[in-house]
Amino acid sequence: MFEKIAVVGAGTMGHGIAEVAALNGYVVFLCDISEEILREAIKKIEWSLRKMVEKGKLGNEELTLTLNRIRTTTSLEEAAKDSKLIIEAVPENLELKKGIFSRLDGMTHPETILGTNTSSLPISEIASVTSRPDKVIGIHFFNPPVIMPLVEIVCGDKTSKQTVDSVLTFIKTLGKQFIICRKDVPGFVVNRILEALIQEAAWIVHRGEASMLEVDSAVKYRAKLPMGLFELSDYVGIDVLYSAGKAIQDRDGGVIVSPLFEEYYKNGWYGKKSGKGFYTYTGDLWEKPKIPPELADKVNLEEIFAPAVNAAAWLLRNNVVDKEELDKAVILGLNFPEGILQMADKWGIDTLVQVLKIKRSKYGEYYKPDQLLEEMVANNRLGVKTRRGFYEYV
């Protein structure tokens, strides 16, 4: 289908996407602004491939073939030439992305699909600088792309079905699973839920309702998430999460960034990569913060998760995604042990609505329960206890 693809941006996500594509037989032109960045990217790809060889997942011959499929260039024109699919993976800066898409539009065949790996910026606005908004689409990989099984496909206002179908075919050849975010809403599916969850955790700590360790312990040992939320923030990057949260907040108020995130962002405490975030790190690659299990009962999970369930309800009510794909998104994209709607059904929709109402009375309209949740309570769709919630139970 695509004999050659181009990846623009050779940072963490870009070189990971290039590696995944090359592993699956594609010739990939990896483009960035300097030879030094590109050399570093190839080093990281080779390190990753050698790890696969060590684990018996890849042979030495396939390692060599994979590396040979990746060509590097500082010329956008060279990367774009004859590429029928281009995936942009530069930093999350809207003007930077629009500049690249405008240039790509002028140097590629009109049928070339232009994808962006953005995790929260508006696809339609990026597409607006091109003459082919029907060919522009969000192709959101998760970090690290080689390991994470999910790709979030995001439709802009004018993205065509043909473009979606072509990209889905491509994603399947990578051995990845996908969800489709049908509308270009701030944060898409995964980040809208994640930001609501992580920012609420930070608000709880900021308000003095619980400590950081108490929140992370509850989430890790009782909700069974693979990481505490502050631990996860340090891993993803506080700068990344702050920027994504601000993008959602500024566009439609779907999340409110906490003062805690703002403080850490402004101080340059980005997490593991800077040696300090919500936790402190010594530089050991496998280092994990110590989160005591005995603190797990100090905070109610419903207090932490209610705004994220509210965000999920908003996505469903606005027909952005269906419930099965939404739960698939948090399981495969965020490593949840089960879907957030399944979790909500267990806690009880009425319980979550009551939590939101109390928060609304104390802290404002952001916490207003979504209309869908209110209707579910009115119709006695309370979850497992009434055998009907987001799902039916026998």
Amino acid identity at 339: G
Residue 128: exposure state from Cβ atoms within 10 A (0-12, 13-18, ≥19): middle
- Pick the closest to residue 162 from 121, 112, 231 (CA basis): 112
Q: What is the pLDDT of residues 301-345, one digit of tens each?
A: 999 999 999 999 999 999 999 999 999 999 999 999 999 999 999
Q: Which CATH fold topology does 4-181 show? A: Rossmann fold (3.40.50)
Output the pLDDT for position 385. 97
Output the pLDDT for position 323. 97
Q: Are 4-181 and 189-228+248-255+295-394 equal in CATH topology? A: no
Output the pLDDT for position 120. 86
* CA quadruple 204, 206, 212, 216: dihedral sign: positive
pLDDT confidence tier of residue 2, bands split at 50, 70 and 90: confident
Q: Which CATH fold topology does 189-228+248-255+295-394 show? A: N-(1-d-carboxylethyl)-l-norvaline Dehydrogenase; domain 2 (1.10.1040)
Average of per-residue pLDDT values in the chain:
96
Indicate which residues carry an active-site annotation: 119, 140, 152, 191
Q: What is the pLDDT of residues 193-224, one digit of tens each?
A: 999 999 999 999 999 999 999 999 999 999 99
Q: Domain residues of the chain, as ranges?
A: 4-181, 189-228+248-255+295-394
Answer whether 119's CB lies under 8 Å from 92's CB.
Answer: yes
Question: With 90 as the cut, is the pLDDT of residue 48 above it?
Answer: yes
Q: What percent of the chain has pLDDT over 70?
A: 100
Question: With 90 as the cut, is the pLDDT of residue 381 above it?
Answer: yes
Residue 112, number of CB atoms within 10 A of its CB: 19
